[in-house]
Amino acid sequence: MTTEASQWLERIRALPIEGPVRIMNVCGGHERSITMAGLRRILPAGVELIPGPGCPVCVCPEEDIYEAIQLALREKVILTAFGDMLRVPVNVPKEEARSLEQARAAGGDVRPVGSPMEPVRIARDNPDRQVVFFAAGFETTTAPVAAMVAEGVPENLSVLLSGRLTWPAVAMLLASGAPGFDALVAPGHVSTVMGPEEWQFVVDDHRIPAAVAGFTPESLLAAFYSVLRQRIEDKPFLDNCYPEVVRPGGNPGAQRWLNETLEVVDANWRGIGIIPGSGYQLREKHAAVDARSRFPAYREEARRRAGQMPPGCDCAKVVLGKIYPTACKLYGAACTPRTPVGPCMVSDEGACRIWWSSGARLAE
């Protein structure tokens, strides 16, 4: 542990904490740093760190993945997607392709990509083929997709968008009356794009302490100290513990791309249901690059899959911070990274995958 991290830890330990205090994070990167650095073990008893809705792959609804699989298999498109998405299983009969990876094994041309530039290059290299970019992500990932659309894409490229906003999921939890957390560590990357002000409602509307954090143990410990102190002093405010990157107002250029090309709509979250104002869809003026407009045949078929989840999978509860990954009956038994049942065990940002990678094996 660095000197700075040790100093933050000492400050936390010196606080008169009357537990339990539940601090939720909403970022897979935060959860990874917390778990890999072992921060849960070193914090004072009574401080709980709860992984929340921070994994976009984990909340991508079954119908969107199903639609991508059908496009790969039945339209013979080149289906591009961020690598995490390829192994996410859908709940279809065993004889059907249950993931994009299985669609590829069945003859589909499915290619993992690392950025929106790659589908553009693939489309230019294959002018006689239709290329679909299945783009699932939160604001940070969706902004470059919006930029790609704004700048214009090759005619043979379309986008199957599954973009989500993070704050409405937190707002939904808070509005439920049983949010399951007492303080919030807000995501650094999302705040970089949208501005830290996006989380001000947590303080103003709910008097919940909040702090934006970066991804190092030092920044996370600083954020934990801030929210614990706010709570002890009963003076909640929105702190920015990642000021070197997160600026007031965020990134206006990225926000302009988002606003120009996309509109905010109600959206389905896997296993959770519709969250108002939590999704992005392409604006009407960009319908030509919308894969759902270009290949409308699967929309209804896919829509009928809404709400499907693998039997026994508790991903929705994990995503909402209602249970820890190890409380799922399938964790480490039927569900491992080699045989994932749910997306939380597939994605690098999924809490189940992160906990498994850290060696967590038994229900705690």
Per the CB < 8 A criterion, the answer to whether 356 and 345 are in contact is yes
Instruction: Report the residue number, 245 or 334, with the smaller CB distance to ligand SF4.
Output: 334
User: For residues 119 and 271, which CB has a smaller minimum distance to ligand SF4 in the complex?
Assistant: 271
User: Restricting to residues 255-314, which ones interact with ligand SF4 according to CB under 6 A?
Assistant: 313-314
Q: How far is the CB of 329 from ligand SF4 (least distance, A)?
A: 7
For residues 328 and 363, give the distance between their C-alpha atoms in angstroms, rounded to a whole number: 8
Stretch that binds ligand SF4, among 42-50, 91-99, 199-207, 337-345 (CB under 6 A): 337-345
Q: Does 325 bind ligand SF4 (CB under 6 A)?
A: yes
Site for ligand SF4 in 120-139 (CB under 6 A): none
Say whether residue 85 binds ligand SF4 (CB under 6 A). no
- Residue 335 interacting with ligand SF4 (CB under 6 A): yes
Provide the minimum distance between the beta carbon of 345 and ligand SF4 in the complex, in angstroms, as a whole number.
Answer: 4
| In the complex, minimum distance from the CB of residue 62 to ligand SF4, in angstroms, rounded to a whole number | 13
CA distance 198 to 9: 28
Q: Is 328 in the site for ligand SF4 (CB under 6 A)?
A: yes
Compare residues 238 and 330 and give the one whose CB is closer to ligand SF4. Answer: 330
341 binds ligand SF4 (CB under 6 A): yes
For residue 211, the cross-strand partners are 185, 239
CB-nearer residue toward ligand SF4: 161 or 341: 341
Residues 6+ apart with CB under 8 A from 93: none
Structure tokens at 203: 């303080």
* CB-nearer residue toward ligand SF4: 2 or 339: 339
Region of residue 244 (phi > 0: left; psi between -120 and 50: alpha; otherwise: beta): alpha
> Of these, 160, 291, 352, 354, which contacts ligand SF4 (CB under 6 A)?
352
Pick the binder of ligand SF4 from 148, 161, 315, 360 (CB under 6 A): 315
Residue number of the CB atom closest to ligand SF4: 342
Nearer to ligand SF4, 188 or 342 (CB): 342
Task: Give 277 or 337: the residue with its C-beta nearer to ligand SF4.
Answer: 337
Check residue 342 for interaction with ligand SF4 (CB under 6 A): yes
For residue 199, which of 22, 8, 23, 26 has the smallest C-alpha distance?
26
Residue type, 221: L
Binding site for ligand SF4 (CB under 6 A): 313-315, 318, 325, 328, 330-331, 335, 341-342, 344-345, 352
